[in-house]
A and B are shown apart, each in its own frame.
Chain A
Amino acid sequence: MESTGKRKKFIRGGIAAIFWLGVWQVAALIVGQELILPSPISVARALWELAGEAEFWLLTAKTMWRIISGLVCGVAIGTVMAALTVRFSVCDMLLSPLVKIIRSTPVASFIVLAMLWIVRTSVPGFIAALIVIPVVWADVRTAALETDRDLLEMARAYRFGHWRTFRYIYMPSVLPSWNSAFVTAMGLAWKSGIAAEVMCQPRDAIGTELMRAKNVLKMPEAFAWTVVVIILSLLLEAAFKRVMRGRVKV
């Protein structure tokens, strides 16, 4: 039953992909200029050529490392901050406005400032972390505050203590929200991290290559790098969902 559902989902996804590739191909034919809109075939060719070079894998790995490390740090900081703001009112008073300011500040402003404060190669990871923090903080904080009061009273009656209360009540209550916040954060980390790479141009970075391809008018290559970012983002999301499957309360 489950495999039939999966097959159906796969077929539906395949049909949608073919449809939009067709639309892209038709649009490229209508525009008729590779410089403005390269066709999917020329992008695929560019991607194939890129994938044949060792440098492609090196700088893809480096970009992944920067963004994933930023994502993990951001999620960890956001989670800890949420726990602190829920547990201690003084932390809530001090941290909540800070997180709200981070959330309202444009990414470009942070990138420009980060370029002044830290080494160029660290900017994408730093930005990814900074963008992720408010998302995780808000979701985890809300879920923790909405934890069932009756269960917490039961924990008090049965003397669960801090660790058991956290492990048996807070964690399962917060995990579904944390999980969906992580998926949202992942997408945001990729977008902001690549934007930071485009702006600060570190060595061995997808964003730097994207900008270089645009500057030398190699549009199929620029599109190919974008496709790489999309594929990596989707693969990581799928991997995360697989890891988390069965660990989230139903």
Chain B
Amino acid sequence: MIKFDHISFSYGERKVFDDFTLELTDRVTVLEGASGSGKTTLLKLAAGLLEPSGGRVLGVPERVAFTFQENRLLPWFSARDNVAAVLPKGHGDEADVWLELMELSDVSGSLPGNMSGGQQRRVAIARALAFGGDLFIMDEPLKGLDEALQERVVPRILERAKNLIVTSHSGFETELWGGNVVRVGGGETG
């Protein structure tokens, strides 16, 4: 269980959370909310990438795999090396397994700049899966993937993620993820 316990956070003058409390008890939580509602901020607070100015985030496991809203791939490394970068020394070969899982074997040697947006997105997902951990936090992981690919990729992620917090922008995506849907900035929906 992850608990945002009376947290406050602001970007300069702009207050995003003020004495906000939320408990995530399900294995899979889908965050929904309008753009700017604070979904990404919430994910970063959970991962410890941002520090709340007040309150605490409790129950976050030691190892968290994070997929950012942007792909954030190393532009000078191939897809394979981007995945291998998060693996322990000597385990670089495992990168191929994760790329294959994301149907990227044919572009494993390509630089991100030479790949499509959807391919880059899947490299970012493969990197998170390769890193592993007890919690997966994914910010719009299906961005840029067509529906057929989304249908193939989501079960593979769900199969491997012990716990997952994910943001979604469409009903189709939310349905694919299943789990508990939480509306940020508008109360829990179910």
Contact = CB atoms under 8 A, between A and B. Distances in A.
Interface residues of B, number: 16
Contacts of A169: 74
Contacts of B85: 158, 160, 164, 168
Nearest to B131: A158
Contacts of B70: 150
Contact of B72 (A154, A164, A168, A172): A154
A158 B127 CA distance: 9
Given A157-B66, A158-B86, A160-B85, A168 B74 contact: yes
Given A154-B68, A158-B66, A160-B85, A172 B49 contact: no
A53 interface: no
A218 to B, nearest CB: 52
Q: Which of B64, B65, B68, B85 has the most CB of A within 10 A?
A: B85
A249 interface: yes
Contacts of B68: 150, 153-154, 157
A150 B49 CA distance: 11
B145 to A, nearest CB: 20
B47 A157 contact: yes
B54 interface: no
A249 B112 CA distance: 13
A151 interface: yes
A156 interface: yes
B86 A172 contact: no
Contacts of A150: 68, 70, 72
A168 B73 CA distance: 11
Interface string B131-166: 100000000000000000000000000000000000
Nearest to A153: B49
Nearest to A248: B76
A151 B49 contact: no
Contacts of B49: 153, 156-157
A151 B124 CA distance: 12
A72 B85 CA distance: 31
Interface of B: 47, 49, 64-66, 68, 70, 72, 74-77, 85-86, 127, 131
7 contacts: A150-B68, A150-B70, A153-B68, A157-B64, A157-B68, A160-B86, A164-B85
